[in-house]
C-alpha cells in the first residue's frame, strides 16, 4: 500500500493543483453559462500542439507549449469579441462551432504525422500516472500567477460573471478577454498535464456538484475542492489497481459522484415543503 501511495503521489498532487484552479474557474463558467468554453479552449490548445508536432517539435517541448498558448490566446480573443449580448447568436453556439473546427483541424493536421494515434490519445486523456514532479511544479507556478491576477481583480471578474448578459462596451469586452486569456493560460498547461477530457471534468463537475447545494462562493469553493480531491483519488487508485488509463478512470469517478449529488439534490428538493401560488414563505 505504501509503494502504491508513493507511486501515485505526483499524480495526486497534480490533481490537487488542477482542482484548486479549475473549480474556481468552473464556478465562473457556470455563472456565465458558457459550459463548453473550457472544452473548446482545451481543443484549441491541442490544435496548437498539433501544428507544432507537424512542424517537427516534440509534443512536450517548449515550442509546442508556446504554439499551444498562442492558439489559446487567439481563441480567448475570439470568444471575447464574438459574445453577442443582444442574443443574436448564443455564446454556446459560437463555442461549439469553435470546438468542432479545432477538433477537425487537429485530426487533419495529425493525419499527416507519423505519431497521429499516440498524439490524439495523449491530447484526449493525458498521461497523468506518468506525470513528474517538475511538471507539477511548473503547472503550480503558472496557476499561482493566474490566481494572483484573479485575486487582484476579483470584484471585476465576479461582477462580469454575475451580469454576463448585460450590455457591454469596449471596456467589458477587454475584461472578458483578460478573463478568457487567463483561462486559456490555465487550460494550455492543463491539457499538456492531463488531456482535454479530464481538464473539462475538473472544470465542470466539482463546481456543478458544489452549486447544487451551496450559494455562498466560499462554500462552493471548499465543497468543489473536496469533490475534486475525492474523485481524483478514487480514479487514480482504480487506475493503478486495475491497470486502467488514469484520465478516463477519474472522469468515470467524477461521473459517479455527480450522479450521487444529483440524486441527493433531487431527494432533498422533494422533501422541501412546496409553497402554493400566491402564498408567501414563512418570515417574508
The average pLDDT across 234-256 equals 92
List the single range of 59-73, 84-98, 133-147, 202-216 with lowest mean pLDDT: 84-98
Average pLDDT of the segment spanning 103-126: 73
Q: Best-predicted range by mean pLDDT among 108-117, 124-133, 161-170?
A: 124-133
pLDDT at 102: 92
CA dist list (Å): 40 to 99, 105, 203: 4, 13, 12
What is the structure's pLDDT at 271?
60
Determine the pLDDT at residue 219: 95
**pLDDT (0 to 100) of residue 283:** 43
Q: What is the pLDDT of residues 192-241, one digit of tens each?
A: 888 888 889 999 999 999 999 999 999 999 999 999 999 999 999 999 88
C-alpha cell of residue 263? 440524486
CATH 1.10.3470.10 fits 2-267, yes or no: yes
pLDDT attached to residue 276 = 43
Contacts of 247 (CB under 8 A, 6+ apart): 124, 125, 126, 128, 194, 195, 197, 198
- Residue 18 has a pLDDT of 95
Cα(31)–Cα(161) distance, integer angstroms: 6
By the 8 A CB rule, do 248 and 197 touch? yes
Give 196's Cβ-side CA count (13 Å radius).
23
Most confident stretch, 87-96, 144-153, 267-276: 144-153
Q: Say whether pLDDT at 186 is over 90.
A: yes
Is the pLDDT at 284 greater than 50, yes or no? no
pTM for the predicted model, two decimal places: 0.84
Question: How high is the pLDDT of residue 119?
Answer: 61
Domain positions in the chain: 2-267
Query: Is residue 242 over pLDDT 70?
Result: yes
Amino acid at each position: 500500500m505504501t509503494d502504491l501511495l508513493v507511486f501515485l503521489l505526483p499524480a495526486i498532487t497534480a490533481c490537487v493543483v488542477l482542482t484548486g484552479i479549475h473549480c474556481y474557474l468552473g464556478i465562473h463558467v457556470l455563472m456565465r453559462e458558457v459550459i463548453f468554453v473550457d472544452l473548446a479552449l482545451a481543443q484549441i490548445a491541442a490544435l496548437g500542439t498539433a501544428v507544432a508536432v507537424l512542424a517537427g517539435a516534440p509534443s512536450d517541448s517548449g515550442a509546442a507549449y508556446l504554439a499551444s498558448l498562442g492558439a489559446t490566446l487567439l481563441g480567448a480573443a475570439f470568444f471575447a469579441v464574438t459574445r453577442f449580448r443582444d442574443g443574436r447568436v448564443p455564446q454556446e453556439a459560437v463555442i461549439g462551432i469553435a470546438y468542432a473546427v479545432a477538433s477537425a483541424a487537429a485530426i487533419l493536421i495529425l493525419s499527416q504525422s507519423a505519431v497521429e494515434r499516440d498524439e490524439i490519445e495523449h491530447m484526449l486523456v493525458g498521461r497523468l500516472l506518468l506525470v513528474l514532479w517538475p511538471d507539477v511544479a511548473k503547472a503550480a507556478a503558472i496557476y499561482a500567477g493566474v490566481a494572483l491576477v484573479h485575486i487582484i481583480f476579483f470584484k471585476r471578474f465576479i461582477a462580469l460573471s454575475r451580469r454576463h448578459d448585460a450590455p457591454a462596451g469596449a471596456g467589458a469586452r477587454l475584461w472578458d478577454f483578460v478573463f478568457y486569456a487567463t483561462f486559456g493560460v490555465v487550460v494550455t498547461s492543463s491539457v499538456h498535464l492531463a488531456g482535454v477530457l479530464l481538464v473539462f471534468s475538473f472544470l465542470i463537475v466539482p463546481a456543478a456538484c458544489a452549486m447544487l447545494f451551496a450559494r455562498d462562493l466560499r462554500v462552493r469553493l471548499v465543497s468543489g475542492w473536496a469533490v475534486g480531491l475525492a474523485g481524483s483519488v478514487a480514479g487514480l487508485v482504480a487506475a493503478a489497481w486495475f491497470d486502467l488509463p488514469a484520465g478516463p478512470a477519474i472522469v468515470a469517478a467524477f461521473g459517479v459522484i455527480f450522479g450521487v449529488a444529483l440524486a441527493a439534490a433531487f431527494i432533498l428538493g422533494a422533501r422541501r415543503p412546496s409553497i402554493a401560488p400566491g402564498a408567501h414563505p414563512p418570515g417574508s
